[in-house]
Amino acid sequence: MTELQATAAIDAAAPARAPRHARARVQRRPVHGVLLLDKPLGLSSNDALQKAKWLLRAEKAGHTGTLDPLATGVLPIALGEATKTVPFVVDSRKTYVFTIRWGEERDTDDAEGRVTATSEVRPEAAAIGALLPRFTGTIEQVPPRFSAIKIGGERAYDLAREGETIEIARRAVTIHRLGLVESPSPDHAVLTAECGKGTYVRSLARDLGRALGTFGHVCALRRSQVGPFGEEDMISLERLESLCHRATAGEGHLADILLPIETALDDIPALAVSPADAARLHRGQAVLLRGRDAAVFRGLVQVASGGQVVAIAEVDRGEIIPRRVFNLTGITGRAGRREG
C-alpha cells in the first residue's frame, strides 16, 4: 500500500493505491523502533507492513518473517535504524498455535487451496500425541508447492499458479517443541509448535496427516512468539490507527507505540561505553575494550552509551569493532515491555 500524507485523516479502508498527486505530497520522517503488530486475518505481511509504514509516515520499514494471509499474530515490524536488527530476529525461534483439519489434503496445504485428496479416517487424540515425538527435533520436510522457495530463480508459488509441475527438495528444519493442545472434534486438532528458521507449519500438518493414515491441512494459524517478542506487546492495526490520530492531535507520542531497538537484540550481550568511545564507534572506528576480561572475551555485543544503543559490534582481541552503527535522529521507540 502506498503511503499517504499522515496529516490528513487516516482511513483504515484506504485504497491500496493512492492518486499520483497524493503520493507526491507525502512527508516522510525518521522513525526508529519495533512495532509489534497483530497481523489480521486475510492481509499479507507486506500489506500489513505498508499500512503501518503509511500510518507512521516512516521513511523505512521491514518485517522479520512472513506470515501467510491465512495466519494472524505476531509480526515484528522494524522501522528506520531498527531494520539493521532484522537478521538477528529472522533467525530466532518462532511459536505457533495451529488447527489441523483432518480428512482433506489441499494443494496449498491450507484452507485456501484446492482439495487434492480425501479420507474418512479421523485420528484419535492418543494417536496424535504418540506421533508427535517423531516430528520433534531436527527433521526433514518438503516446503509447500505454494511457498516463496525459489526454483531456478522463480518463486514456487508463481510456478504452481501457472500449473507447472515442480519438485521441491527436502530440507532439514528444527522443531524444538510440538504438543497437542486439544481435539475439539473428530475433524480438528489444535497443536502448538516452537520452530527454528525455515520451518513450514503447513508442511507439518500435511505430513502429520499422512503419518496418521489420513490427510490434513492447516485451517487456522496464529503466531504467538518471535524471538523475544510475544503477544503481550502486540498492537492491532485499528489501535495503531487510533494512536496515530491522537498523536497527530497532540495527545500522546508515537515513541510510546514503538519498542526500543535494543529489544530486538535481547539474545546479544550488552556492553556500555563512554560517550567518547561511542563517538568513535559512530565514525566506524574500533575502540579498546577495557577491563580484566578484555583479552579473552570474544563475540557479538550490543553497545550502548548513556542508555541509548550505539552499535552492534564484534569484540576480538581486546577491540570493539563496529559492524552495524545506529544513527537515532527523529522519533525513537521508548515503550516499556509488559510482563506476561
Catalytic residue among 68, 109, 110, 207: 68
* Residue carrying the nine cell digits 570474544: 298
Give the whole-angstrom CA distance, residue 147 versus residue 143. Answer: 7
Distance of CA 7 to the CA centre of its chain: 29
Residue 6: what residue type? A
Q: For residue 101, what is the enclosing H or E element?
A: strand 94-102
Residue 173 CB neighbour total at 10 angstroms: 19
Query: Dihedral through CA 95, CA 339, CA 32, CA 87, nearest 10?
Result: -30
Query: Strands, DSSP E only, in 113-239?
Result: 115-118, 137-141, 150-151, 154-155, 171-185, 188-195, 216-226, 229-230
Q: Is 47 a catalytic residue?
A: no
* Residue carrying the nine cell digits 530476529: 89
Give the list of residues 6+ apart from residue 45 with CB closer than 8 angstroms, or none.
39, 63, 65, 66, 67, 75
Give the whole-angstrom CA distance, residue 47 versus residue 237. Answer: 11
Cell of 257: 507505540
Q: How far is CA 321 from CA 99, 216, 278, 298, 302, in A?
A: 46, 50, 11, 11, 11
Q: For residue 246, what is the enclosing H or E element?
A: helix 237-248
CB–CB of 261/33 below 8 Å? yes
Sign of torsion, CA 191 194 200 204?
Answer: negative
**Eight-state DSSP code of residue 282:** H
3-state secondary structure of 273: coil
- As annotated, the active-site residues are 68
